[in-house]
Structure 1
């Protein structure tokens, strides 16, 4: 599995954020996810397996316990991609968050598209009746 596929899931991204703070056991991850994403231990293990397949998580066994830790090296691919895209689009990295004027324009476009679809649907229903 690619790094991009692995980090596409919000639960896996949250797990990576936890592991950035240090190694964790499955039970620790499940407990920390609980308030935001109630999840079973087997589900946590499946997410960790996906992250491990992408090279983002390493496992250390200590007696009967398995400790999972973050390996950031595969994230270099993501960083490189973002830097490349940002570089191709000029000042994209320095623009900051989307401004209200951009959201207003988007809202106007969505409204216009909905109106056009309603009109087209009404015309179609009128022609088929």
Structure 2
């Protein structure tokens, strides 16, 4: 996959289970069964999550004998990060001013 589809990347990142899987794979490659172990959902559900991540280009899956291994593919995240950095030119949200505005509007 040359350039990841940002829509697919952000859709994949929208799910907390998939974000947790990516965090796990940040540490090292893992077998699918090891990825599934900490979650209280079926192996089939984890496999669907892994499919979404793979289609978005965020992970690669490789069969080694009878075991399927998952590996993080950081390039897709890099493209999303570059896209998001373009918005860094804006000032951060001033929460104190926002709170003052909400208070004035409520009174």
With the shorter chain as reference, the TM-score category is 0.7 to 0.9
Cα offset for 1:52?
Answer: 0.3
2:79 corresponds to which of 42, 62, 77: 77
Cα offset for 1:30?
Answer: 1.6
Q: Secondary structure at the match of 2:30?
A: coil
Q: What's the CA shift string for 1:61-108, capped at 9, x where partnerless? A: 111000001000011221112210112x04x3xx8xx75x36744763
State the match for 1:47 in structure 2: 49
Structure number with greater Rg is 1
Task: Note closer, same or farther for the CA distance 1:14–1:103 as it changes in structure 2 (3 Å cut).
Answer: farther
Computed over aligned residues only, the root mean square deviation of the Cα atoms, in angstroms, reads 2.5
Q: Secondary structure at the match of 1:19?
A: helix
Name the CA distance, whole Å, in 2 between partners of 1:106 and 1:42.
48
Task: Note closer, same or farther for the CA distance 1:23–1:82 as it changes in structure 2 (3 Å cut).
Answer: same
Structure 1 gaps, min length 5: 116-129
State the match for 2:37 in structure 1: 31
Query: How high is the TM-score relative to the length of structure 1?
Result: 0.67
Name the CA distance, whole Å, in 1 between partners of 2:26 and 2:57.
14
Structure 2 gaps, min length 5: 1-6
Task: Note closer, same or farther for the CA distance 1:45–1:107 as it changes in structure 2 (3 Å cut).
Answer: farther
Q: Secondary structure at the match of 2:54?
A: helix
Higher relative contact order (CA 8 A, sep 6+): 2
